[in-house]
Chain A
Amino acid sequence: MSFEGLIVILVSAAVVNNFVLIQFLGICPFLGVSKDIKSSAGMGFAVLFVMVLATIVTWPIQIYLLTPNDLGYLQTIVFVLIIAALVQFMEIVLKKYIPALYLSLGVYLPLMTTNCAIFAVALMNVKENYTLVESIFNSLGAGVGFLLAMVLFSGIRKHTENADPPESFKGAPLTLIAAAILSISFFGFSGVIENLFG
């Protein structure tokens, strides 16, 4: 796989097929922890980190354990199990060796145990028949895309919170509308890949 191919995968996962805004994965943390830029960036980096890690662990398991034994249908349950254990393991390791990072990630680390975006990355890597390097780039792109969406949306949220909308639009409705508009704007990126690298 050429270097250019890897960049295409990275950009496509981060922007063109943005996990949150185009594929609508990981909407729950996207709406839940985007109230201020600090916590949204924290969550974004934590997801980025776990996505790459989950890919590195789940890819060999799929290729060397599930596929040779015709156990492809166990993918879901095995991946959930592994990602959950992985997040717990990460928490223990970080607490011991990098307490500063552990403190700054805080509650977001355990929140990711069952995040669908991370799960989707692992499944997507298998579905697209990516090699390990391609998978890592794909998950890196997905993580960067998630981080981008979180930070952008927290900026928008800051303004919608200060706005004085009609009573029926206050809170969740306005947030969802803002998310929809942001999502539409990301559709503008479709076709970028074909034109840049086509």
Chain B
Amino acid sequence: MDTIFMAVFSVTAIGVACAVLLCISSKVMYVKADERVTALKSSLPGSNCGACGYPGCAGYAEALVKDPAIKTNLCTPGGASVAGELSRIMGVESGTVLKKLAVVRCLGDSEAQQVKMDYAGIKTCYAATEIFGGQGACTYGCLGYGDCKNVCPSDAICIENNLAKVNANCIGCGICVKVCPNQIITIEENLAVPIVLCQNHEKGGVVRKKCSKGCLACTKCVRECPESAITMEENLAVINPEKCTNCGHCAEICMTKCIGGIA
């Protein structure tokens, strides 16, 4: 009887001692969390995409509370409703939320682009660029192994015919921009303006041999643009969004049809 009592007593005593210690320490060393941070966190989408420029939704919430100068409209995935919610919690005016989308600036799918070798290495874009720029003839274009697709938090990229395509799920976070080894993905804010969907800076003849949908730098669009909004920079047409009126003429006359609108 005595043995059982001693055993039960010591375990209970240790348990109670631990409990008391934890109770007291949690009260004494209580860290006061700002209520606004909790409220902000719960109204943010929580996908931790980083589009706002802070490490995750929690990071953005803390930054908002710390620095009142930080804008409440930085959450692109959340859109106007989240911006409104954040502004209400912080007690400030909410600005408009710019809709941003990722654009893959390449049309070189497996039909358009020539193949220069049979690549059987590690199936990631990053690995492929290390070996003569991948199996496609064009070293500027999409490699098609989907590094961007793998990091996309919203399932907005799919690979069709060895070409990355962005669909309507895109939240404009820009994570894909960072992982693309050829840097052919850009985040576009001005969605009304057409975009040159080629990144190849080589001369027209060289491009033509490699891909049927590349910019040949023929300057036809430069000459015919009614607003003179297009210039030729390093063998690639560049559209000035400030001058462009989105008449669509360049997209029509382009010989390789590499000028297109978004989505």
Contact = CB atoms under 8 A, between A and B. Distances in A.
Interface of A: 61, 65-66, 69-71, 73-74, 77-78, 81-82, 84-85, 88-89, 92-93, 95-97, 99, 162-164
B11 A74 contact: yes
Interface string B98-134: 0000000000000000000000001110010000000
Interface in B170-208: none
A92 B26 contact: yes
A78 B10 contact: yes
Interface of B: 3, 6-7, 10-11, 14-15, 18-19, 21-22, 25-26, 29-31, 122-124, 127
A92 B127 CA distance: 44
Nearest to A84: B18
Contacts of B15: 81
Nearest to B21: A89
- The 5 A-B pairs of least Cβ separation, nearest first, read A85-B18, A96-B29, A92-B25, A162-B122, A92-B29
A42 to B, nearest CB: 16
Contacts of A84: 18
Contacts of A93: 25, 29
Nearest to B13: A65
B22 A92 contact: yes
Q: Name which of A69, A92, A95, A97 has the most chain B CB atoms within 10 A of its CB.
A: A92
Contact of B122 (A66, A78, A81, A164): A164
A93 B3 CA distance: 37
Given A73-B7, A85-B19, 18 more contacts: A61-B14, A66-B10, A70-B3, A71-B6, A71-B10, A74-B10, A77-B11, A78-B10, A81-B11, A81-B15, A85-B21, A89-B21, A89-B22, A93-B25, A96-B30, A162-B127, A163-B122, A164-B123
B25 A78 contact: no
Given A69-B6, A69-B10, A74-B7, A81 B18 contact: yes
Contact of A78 (B14, B19, B22): B14
B10 A88 contact: no
A77 B10 CA distance: 11
Contact of A95 (B14, B31, B127): B31
Contacts of A162: 122, 124, 127
A71 B31 contact: no
A93 to B, nearest CB: 6
Given A93-B25, A162-B124, A81 B14 contact: yes
25 contacts: A65-B10, A69-B6, A74-B10, A74-B11, A78-B10, A78-B11, A78-B14, A81-B11, A81-B14, A81-B15, A81-B18, A85-B22, A89-B21, A92-B25, A92-B29, A93-B29, A96-B29, A96-B30, A96-B31, A97-B29, A99-B31, A162-B124, A162-B127, A163-B122, A164-B122
A78 B11 CA distance: 6
Contacts of A92: 22, 25-26, 29
A27 to B, nearest CB: 27
A69 B15 CA distance: 18
Contacts of A65: 10
A95 B6 CA distance: 36
Nearest to B18: A85
A95 B33 CA distance: 11
Nearest to B126: A162
A185 B32 CA distance: 49
A124 B151 CA distance: 44
A64 B83 CA distance: 61
A85 B19 CA distance: 8
A25 B63 CA distance: 41
A95 to B, nearest CB: 5
B120 to A, nearest CB: 9
A113 to B, nearest CB: 12
Contacts of B19: 85
A171 B19 CA distance: 41
Nearest to A86: B18
A95 B29 contact: yes
A69 B7 CA distance: 9
Given A71-B6, A164-B122, A82 B29 contact: no
B143 to A, nearest CB: 15
Contacts of A95: 29, 31
